[in-house]
Amino acid sequence: MSLLLFLLNLLLGSYKIIPSLFMDKRLLGSLVIILFLAIYSCSYQPYRQANKSYKRQAKLYAKEVRRTPSLFFTTQNNPLYWIGTTNFNMRKPNFVIIHYTAQNSCEQTLRTFTLPRTQVSAHYVICKDGSVHHMLNDYLRAWHAGIAKWGNLTDINSASVGIEIDNNGFEVFTEPQMKSLFQLLDTLKLKYSIPANNFIGHSDIAPSRKADPGKYFPWKTLADSGYGVWYGDTTNVVVPDSFNSVRALRIIGYDVRDSISAIRAFKTHFLQDTSCILTEADKKVLLEVAERSL
């Protein structure tokens, strides 16, 4: 912007430049081109169309919310007039689902989330430099979970905030990303009173389809700060002979229709291990987590 102001002042003659310089058509032409490029760079917004579409859709939903509720059915004794309750508020999210983008750059993800044909989105995208893009109002429903299940909840999108972290799935998360994530989680937990156990990953709610946020994600660090459940020292934990690992997974929240995938998702989250076999040590951890999830 300072360059733009300088060029404007230059062309307006506020600087003491030799007048003959402005008689040189090539110099003058170059200055005009530079001025044009400066103005263009200051005003260019690559997602202008996506933002217009967002505002248009939000306006339509706001119009729908303002409508007086009407009956969707008829009865023999329909009331003569409508009565609106005075006791209501906005629906709020009760879960936070953490993902990795599985793409090669933050810019690629942002573009993916602004193309209608992709049919995917998230509320937040955290780039490697720690910058956070808040792409959707928290009270609106993003399309990030897909076909998923946690406990008895099957419409995860309607009850959650989706956070995508720029990561291709084969690398550690950056320090700036984690710092921004903790600040964001703190805000969400406080604002919506989200229970600690309800901070989970995409692979937890869709174990047969998804692997994110993957084995490199620091779940223990999150749990130590109050974002997620964890386990203690299992040295003296005794697993009873009657222990049912599938039942324990179900208690935690996993969809156990594909028990092998559920085991893999559990081990990825709590043991940073992508295998699908439960050792005796693993069962101790599973027992601890299940008991803390009750």
Q: How far from 101 is each of 110, 126, 134, 231, CA to CA, in Å?
A: 10, 10, 15, 28
Determine the Cα–Cα distance for residues 99 and 201; give it in Å rounded to an integer. 6
Q: What whole-number distance in Å separates Cα of residue 163 and Cα of residue 189?
A: 13
Kindly name the residue from 164, 171, 280, 288 that is annotated as catalytic: 164
DSSP-derived 3-state class of residue 97: strand
- Report how far apart, in Å, the C-alpha atoms of 106 and of each of 28, 113, 123, 125, 127 are: 40, 11, 14, 8, 5
* Cα–Cα distance measured from residue 144 to residue 123, given in angstroms and rounded to the nearest whole number: 9
Distances (CA, A) of 90 to 65, 87, 138, 212, 280: 11, 11, 11, 30, 46
Burial class (CB in 10 A: 0-12, 13-18, 19+), 42: exposed
Helix segments in 119-216, DSSP class H: 175-192, 202-205
Task: Clarify whether 164 is annotated catalytic.
Answer: yes
Quick one: CA torsion of 198, 199, 201, 205, rounded to 10 degrees?
10
Phi, psi of 26 (to 5 degrees): -65, -40
Residues with a known catalytic role: 164
